[in-house]
Each structure stands twice: as structure tokens, then as C-alpha cells.
């Protein structure tokens, strides 16, 4: 069952269980939202969005999980600026906060996700969320992604 969202074409706001399955559902939901906006799932825009949402949602589940709390996903399309903003909220503000994209080590088993976000996004960062938690965000350029 998919979470309730606003009408197709409008900004997407949804809550998902703070589990690996919830992160997977968030990614799929974002791709369906882009499809409703005219971008096929195989398009560069949808693929980049899937990677960014998947990474930020997986990080919210792994590093920002608070038992019994969901994580939030918000997608905002700014057609005038040709930007797609991705925001993922979690409830854990005291846990490891993202800083810069880490260096990738060939032998490492993790640490490449934010590197992908850094490459795909025009900019990204995080802000505290009130009353608790944080929001990690990334902005994707539609112009750059449609030229790939």
C-alpha cells in the first residue's frame, strides 16, 4: 500500500516506515511521481532521482531511525528554475550528521552513497528539523540531467 500524497503534478509529500522496505517504497514512489510528470522510469531524470531518494532514504533508515517513527519524503519541482528538490526527514538529530561526501575507497563496503548524491546534485546539505530530527536535502538540475 502506497502512502497518500497530493495530486499528480503537485509536490509530493509522503511518510514511510523506517525500514529497508520503506526506503525501497520511497524510491519507487518517487519514480512513479516523475512518471506522472512525463518522465519515464528509464529517463535520466528518473534514474538520478531514484538513486538520490534511495540513498537519502537508506541513510534515514540506517542512521536516523528511531523505533516507531517513520521518515518523510518531500519532492518539489521548481519548473522556473529547472530544479527538483528532494528532502528526507528523520527523527534522530543526535546521530551522525552528514557533512561532506566521503572519499570512496575501493575496498570499502559502504560510504559511496553520499558520493553519488554529491555527483548527481547541484547542491545538498542538511538542516535541523523542529521539534526533533533533521532534514537531508539535495537539488537536482533538470537541464543537466536531460542532456546526459
Mean per-residue pLDDT, 25-51: 95
Query: Alpha-carbon distance 139 to 123, whole Å?
Result: 6
CA atoms within 13 A on the CB side of 136: 29
Q: What percent of the chain has pLDDT over 70?
A: 78
Residue 60 near residue 50 (C-beta atoms within 8 A): no
CA distances from 26 to 32, 58, 92, 102 (A): 10, 10, 19, 24
Q: What is the pTM of this model?
A: 0.84
Q: What is the pLDDT of residues 4-37, one digit of tens each?
A: 444 444 799 999 999 999 999 999 999 999 999 9
Amino acid at each position: 500500500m502506497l502512502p497518500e500524497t497530493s495530486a499528480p503534478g503537485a509536490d509530493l509529500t509522503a511518510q514511510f516506515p523506517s525500514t529497508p522496505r520503506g526506503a525501497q517504497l520511497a524510491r519507487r514512489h518517487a519514480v512513479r511521481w516523475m512518471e506522472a510528470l512525463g518522465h519515464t522510469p528509464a529517463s535520466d531524470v528518473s534514474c538520478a532521482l531514484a538513486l538520490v531518494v534511495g540513498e537519502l532514504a537508506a541513510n534515514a533508515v540506517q542512521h536516523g531511525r528511531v523505533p516507531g517513527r517513520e521518515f518523510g519524503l518531500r519532492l518539489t519541482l521548481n519548473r522556473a528554475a529547472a530544479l527538483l528538490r528532494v528532502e528526507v526527514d528523520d527523527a534522530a538529530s543526535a546521530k551522525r550528521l552528514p557533512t561532506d561526501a566521503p572519499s570512496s575507497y575501493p575496498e570499502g563496503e559502504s560510504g559511496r552513497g553520499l558520493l553519488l548524491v554529491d555527483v548527481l546534485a547541484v547542491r545538498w546539505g542538511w538542516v535541523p528539523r523542529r521539534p526533533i530530527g533533521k532534514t537531508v536535502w539535495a537539488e537536482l538540475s533538470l537541464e543537466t540531467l536531460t542532456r546526459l
